[in-house]
Structure formats: C-alpha cells, structure tokens
Structure 1
Amino acid sequence: MQRGSDRLSVHRDDEMKHELQGLLRSGHPTRTEEWNDPEPTAEDDPDVVNGPVTPGRGPSYLEALRLELARNLTRGTFPAGPRELGRVLRRGNAPDALVDGLRRLPHKARYGNVQELALALTESGRSGPPAPGVA
C-alpha cells in the first residue's frame, strides 16, 4: 500500500540503489572524485556507534590529558624538561591546570613525547585538577 508520503519516487529509489551497488559490493567508495566521498572518522572522534558519549563512556583521563597536551605542544618541543615545557605552554596560553601539573614534576626529568609527559602527570595523581575539556 502506497500512502504518498515517500520523498522519492519508485524510479528515483531504483536509481539510488543502482548508484550504491558498487559501494555495497566492494566495501569501499567507488567514485573517481575523492571530494565526493564522505570524510572518514578521525581517531579522536567520540565513539557514537553504541549511542551518545556519556561521562562513563567518554575518554579516560589519560587520553583526555594527552589530547589537551597535544593541542598545546608540538613535536619540535620534545625532548624537554618540565621548565621548558611550562614556558612553551605559558607562551601558547595553555590552561593553567596543565602548567600547574608540570610544576610538580621532577626538574631534572626529560620527556621525549606527549605520551611520556601525560603518563608522568597522571602517575600518583600529581596532575592536579583536570584541564578544561578533560573528563
């Protein structure tokens, strides 16, 4: 039974099925123009496949801290100690919570990348209050 509330005609519906047939069979986009393909999801996009991201399902504290540090530090910053990293964060107007966390780290320590720094900040709860945007 057709109610007339369909947005597409039967002919347009068949045409769309034909257009998608290559994608459905191959499992990847089949268009020659890349701009026409949908953009893939990014690694840091929230996982919404299983529903909305709630506080219990959001990124862990370490992941959120690492993301916040990566937003404010570049690869060229490393390797560096807490004082140098603190200067870079202050110059970049980073959240105060990140700079305060660096002050609690050993002054002679050196960090080779954001991951090492994030682990050092979360170790033993020395990172202080979470940075803005950090769950």
Structure 2
Amino acid sequence: MERGSNQVGPRKDDEMKHELEGYLRSGQHTHVEEGNDPEPPADDDLRVGPGGPVPPPGGAREQARAAEDTESLRLELARHLERTVFPADRQTVLDTLQAHHAPDPVLDAARGLPDGSSYANVTELVDAIERGPSQAQ
C-alpha cells in the first residue's frame, strides 16, 4: 500500500486515530489541564449571533440605541470642550465647539440647548440636550 508523503506508518496512524476518537465523538474539550481550554465569555462581553451582535434581552433595541447615541454625543462633546470652559453657558459652548471644528451633528445638538442656563460639565450638557429646550430647568 502506497502511503505517499505521510510521515507516520499505519500503526502510528491507528494510534493517533484512537487518541482523537473521544474528542471527535464528544464535541467537547478532552484536556485535563484548564490552561488548554478556551476561556469562557465574560458577563459583559458582546454577544454575537449569526447575523451580528445580539440586541439586549426584552426587545430593548431602541433603548440600547438611545444609550449608544447619548454616549457618542458625550464623547464628542468631551473631545471638543476642554475643562477650562466650564462652567459655561449656551453661547460659550457653541463658540468653543466652533473654534475646535466640532462635527455638524454635535453643533446642531448644542444649538438645542436652552438660553440662560449654565453647565458645570459635559454630563450636564448632555442631560440638557436630551431634555430639550421645552423642559429647561
């Protein structure tokens, strides 16, 4: 029987087949040492299904999207506003954002801030933007 480029003989082939048989049948890891098994996913890892990321349970896709948008706005504002600006009013925020060439969506959101209010930090700015001008403090 011609074995071609196989480096092992028929006896070693059968031995290797026997060693892998349990693994192939079980579909699980057969290593005794814990270090050889893959690490299980953490609780805060993003779950991914066949079609992409899995939305949070309970159909809260819209809430997750809103939270993501809020966090994105917070990061953009923090990136374009230095701490020395605060406390700041609406016009100071707009002037600083324009001076730092903030993107248009961030400027548009800041234009929705109510007049006459002062903001101590970016979190207060985002909260005021989410409330809108009709619910100003």
* Length-normalised TM-score, structure 1: 0.51
Shift of 1:88: 0.7
- Pair 1:69-2:77 in alignment: yes
Name structure 2 gaps, 5 residues minimum.
1-14, 18-34, 37-43, 56-60
Q: Structure 1 103/49 Cα, relative in aligned 2: closer, same or farther at 3 Å? A: closer
The superposition leaves residues 83-116 of structure 1 with CA deviations (integer Å, 9 ceiling, x where unpaired) of 0111110011101122222223222110000000
The number of equivalent residue pairs is 92
Q: Which amino acid aligns with 1:72?
A: H
Q: Tell me what 1:104 maps to.
A: 112
Per the normalisation by structure 2, the TM-score is 0.50
In 2 relative to 1, CA 59–102 (structure 1 residues): closer, same or farther, beyond 3 Å?
A: closer
The structure with more strand, counted as a fraction of residues? 2
Q: Which residue of 2 aligns with 1:78?
A: 86
> Following the alignment from structure 1 to structure 2, what is the Cα–Cα distance between the partners of residues 76 and 113?
10
> Pick from 40, 47, 52: which aligns with 1:50?
47
- Bigger mean CA deviation after superposition, 108-117 or 91-100: 91-100
Poorly superposed stretches of 4+, deviation over 4 Å: 52-55
Q: CA RMSD in A?
A: 3.6
Alignment of 1:114-133 (within 5 A): 114-124=122-132
| SS at 2:115 equivalent | coil
Structure with greater contact order relative to length (CA < 8 Å, sep ≥ 6): 1
Structure with higher Rg: it is 2
The whole-number CA distance in structure 2 between the counterparts of 1:87 and 1:114 is 15
1:67 maps to a residue whose letter is L
Amino acid at match of 1:119: D
Identical aligned residues as a percent: 34
